[in-house]
Homo-oligomer: A and B are copies of this chain.
């Protein structure tokens, strides 16, 4: 808690609030998931390679498996003529052995048969047709009996030419992936390649998003006087998904403490994290505070939601804590659309990414030069977050829309947040500022 005061009430800094959240939220317990269900998740243990890759010497070309001595000095004019003893297809168990003067027709990926020392690509041979060089093999379906007769090889091959050695990719016992790795397509590929059907990861957190406010009407319905459309529950559900969560949207809950309390209790069963918007300020109908003081098992230690004023704009009123028998973390955000979205970016997104076990929970930020006509004013003692449009090439940022926390139309044009420090009250055009990239 800082010494800053506002109306005699204590005020926390953005940094303090975030630190408190991150000190409380813990990574979810790992579970074993099917590979494709683990995409985007964080690996919990080092993964060791159980078998070398490739598991056996195999051909990197479609061609003929030969002995090196048999093709030494071969040329198109003076080809080496070899007896073809059959086909080695990819996936074959390989019951052929290549003797002196012999060749086996071999496919890419097929095991190098015993006796063979190298592969000559089919393009270096007559393909067994007795004429000049060929561009490829006769399809198996056209001559299902497989290769036989003779093949003329037009070029020599060094030992192990076009052979991928067993273990040349990875050796059994090596570490394939380190704990903490985020599983993308190529990591999933490696896990599959070493035979893993499932993998132990931290699951995606289930986030329940709930907007509150008796003024909220669902989109698509008619709007009575004094009503507005619920947008926060949509925005934050989408943002939670973007952050990596499985998000559930609960439509607007009316400003009634009992309704809100029972809705939250109902949702606890499917929530690793609860997010509410609205009802956290100083009004007579801000029932979120009231409701959240008595949700779940009050006797258990560690439960409870604390409501704070933060030295930030927008987003001053914030609630955070844990509720219910499992101490499910809950963030209570303010209800103004821009306030709730900025609060999500600053506090909820890092919480979600902490639950996922990610090492880096923050959005990237850069320094950029402010481009605008007039100096910007900023409230003293508050960290201000303005919506901006970032120009990476110019290293510049310009504000989009005003500082009003209801300017949702401008927010939709922004791709970053411009950060004005607490002690700054005016920012001249050309000043360098921190910019949080929302991309």
Which residues of A line the B interface, CB within 8 A? Answer: 7-9, 35-36, 39, 49, 51, 53-56, 60, 62, 87, 89-94, 105, 107-111, 122-123, 133, 135-141, 146-147, 164, 168-170, 174, 176-177, 184-198, 213-216, 218-221, 223-239, 241-242, 249, 255, 257, 281-287, 290, 335-337, 341, 404-412, 414
Contacts of A224 in B (CB 8 A): 93
Cα separation A294 to B221 with both chains bound (whole Å) = 52
Cα separation A217 to B228 with both chains bound (whole Å) = 57
Cα separation A406 to B197 with both chains bound (whole Å) = 20
Determine the residue in chain B with the shortest Cβ distance to A174: B409
Contacts of A221 in B (CB 8 A): 195
Contacts of A192 in B (CB 8 A): 219, 229-231, 233-235
B186 touching A412 by the CB < 8 A rule?
yes
Contacts of A122 in B (CB 8 A): 282-283
Cα separation A91 to B215 with both chains bound (whole Å) = 3
Could you list 18 further interchain pairs (A-B, Cβ under 8 angstroms) beyond the known A90-B283, A107-B283, A169-B409? A53-B408, A53-B409, A60-B404, A62-B281, A89-B214, A89-B255, A90-B213, A90-B255, A91-B213, A108-B281, A108-B335, A146-B284, A164-B404, A169-B408, A169-B410, A184-B242, A188-B235, A189-B412
A-B contact pairs, 13 of them (CB 8 A): A7-B123, A36-B234, A55-B223, A91-B213, A91-B227, A93-B225, A109-B228, A109-B335, A184-B242, A185-B236, A186-B412, A190-B412, A197-B218
B94 touching A225 by the CB < 8 A rule?
yes
A235 touching B93 by the CB < 8 A rule?
no
Contacts of A414 in B (CB 8 A): 186
